[in-house]
Structure 1
Amino acid sequence: MSEDIEIVRGSGHVFHDFGHPNADVEQAKAILAAKIIGVLEDSGLSTRQAEEVTGVNHSEFVRIRRVKLDRFTIDRLITILNRLHQRVELEVTVRPAQEKESPTMDVG
């Protein structure tokens, strides 16, 4: 039994690749959450210790670690990074949207 498999490379923007309606917002939130997790890991802070440093409830850090980001706004995530003594610099590029090309996968 021979199967032909077409491999499609992602764009690096997984939320866009899978057609999420708010892909750009979800991508930005995921990047910021990853930075928060990285700061916690690099500094060895537990979620309870992060609460003491930032005044942000430890349950919020638990949500971030579990990538449950629906309750967070971009500005809230930036505020958390600031309270972790991080400076956030954003570069924004705005361009016309292109017609969405659906990734295809041909198996068979």
Structure 2
Amino acid sequence: MNDDFELIRGSGNVFRDLGYHDADLRHARAVLAAEIIKALDERQWSTRKAEQETGISHADFSRIRRANIERFSFERLASILGALGREVEVSVEVRPRVQPGAPAEMRL
């Protein structure tokens, strides 16, 4: 068995590593969804209990729990967090994009 392999460090954004054109937005939405799930878990709320307490559809909470977040905008996920008593703070950093595996001289 040959143990030779190439190790490539990920960018920290799995969507970027997989080549999605909207990787940063997908990553941000996934982070918000994870925070929603975390808030529900901390309170030990079912999706029905979350609906009763927030007025947000149990089906929406169910989709989020199943990581089916394609239909949710960033703004919608942030508003759901607000309904759960969480604040969302966004900071933006802009820099040149470097493709994974790019030569070292392109990594400024």
TM-score range, shorter chain: 0.7 to 0.9
Please give the root-mean-square deviation of Cα atoms over the aligned residues, in Å.
1.5
Percent identity at matched positions?
46
TM-score in terms of structure 2 length: 0.86
**Displacement over 4 Å in runs of 4+:** none
Verify: 1:32 aligned to 2:26, yes or no.
no
Deviation for aligned residue 1:102: 4.9
Q: Which runs of 5+ in 2 are unaligned?
A: 103-108
Q: Give the conservation status (yes or no) of the 8 Å contact 1:47–1:61.
A: yes
- Counterpart of 2:97 in structure 1 is 97
- Counterpart of 2:82 in structure 1 is 82
Return the alpha-carbon distance in structure 2 between the equivalents of residues 3 and 97 of structure 1: 32
- Counterpart of 2:106 in structure 1 is none
Give the length in aligned residue pairs: 102
- Larger relative contact order (Cα-Cα within 8 Å, sequence gap ≥ 6): 1
Q: Which runs of 5+ in 1 are unaligned?
A: 104-108
